[in-house]
Amino acid sequence: MRAVEATELVPAPPAGRVFTEDARVGLGDVAPSGRVRLDAVARMLQDAAFADVIDSGVLDDGVWVVRRLRLRVERFPRFEETVTVATWCSGTGPLWAERRSTVRGEQGGLVEAVALWVHLAPDGMRPCPLPEGFAPIYGAAAAGRRVRARLRHPSAAPGDASASTWRFRGADLDLAGHVNNAAYWEMLEEELAVAPDPPTPYDTEIEHRAPADVGDVTVLRAGPMRWIVDPDGTVLASLAVGSVP
């Protein structure tokens, strides 16, 4: 991963809104070794973000979609470990906001996360300005930090990338009728399941480019990069995978 991006993992703000929610690592959240899976972490983050928005009272008829999510696992939480998810707004742009989160377990589990969320119009078709009540609630935590929404992964795989098939199932769909963001991490977990637990720190990042539907997709692999491509050749998402010394 890119060392320059360590600056994204900003600490919790000294002032402003930080929302916390407790969770427990259950049977459906872990790999055979007992470590939490990455898709389970992504679901915890989604649930905490949604709970934060509801609790904040910000009136918003728009739609938020994840553009990018980076996970840096310092130590994988384990089965039955109680974790606290702390989440806050760490930066804004005209049509998007950055959300930092820390997942901290009672037994030493620690995951740092940063996500870029784009704010869409109610029909979900185009970006629109942040809701009117956003700044009074989240502005102090962001502290004027501005962030960009530009994608940074290579847009296409090289010609010598290896290919395999992955299938998104009906159970992967969410309320919007598209594959839930957390389900994309299951493809990476398929690789991790046949090997020992990855070394930590384990730093990985996904960028979403287009919504996926039920059906087969192609996974292209080249070095630390993965591209998820639908049958018509559209890149749905890309993952950068690796450990940071």
DSSP the chain: --GGGGGGSPPPPSSS--EEEEEE--GGGB-TTSBBPHHHHHHHHHHHHHHHHHHHT----SEEEEEEEEEEEEE--BTT-EEEEEEEEEEE-SSEEEEEEEEEETTS-EEEEEEEEEEE-TTSSSB-PPPTTHHHHHHHHHTT-B------S-SS--TT-EEEEEEE-GGGB-TTSSB-GGGGHHHHHHHHTTSSPPPSSEEEEEEE-S---SEEEEEEEETTEEEEE-TTS-EEEEEEEEE--
Residue 1 pLDDT greater than 80, yes or no: no
Q: Which residue has the tokens 């998810």?
A: 85
Considering the chain, what is the average pLDDT of its residues? 93
So what's the pLDDT on residue 244?
40
Which domains, and CATH codes, for the chain?
3-142 (3.10.129.10), 162-243 (3.10.129.10)
So what's the pLDDT on residue 4?
35
What whole-number distance in Å separates Cα of residue 40 and Cα of residue 188? 12
pLDDT tens sequence across 90-109: 999 999 999 999 999 999 99
What does pTM read for this prediction? 0.94
So what's the pLDDT on residue 7?
65
pLDDT tens sequence across 186-231: 999 999 987 788 999 999 999 999 999 999 999 999 999 999 999 9
Residue 2 pLDDT greater than 60, yes or no: no
pLDDT tens sequence across 153-196: 999 999 999 999 999 999 999 988 899 999 999 999 999 987 78
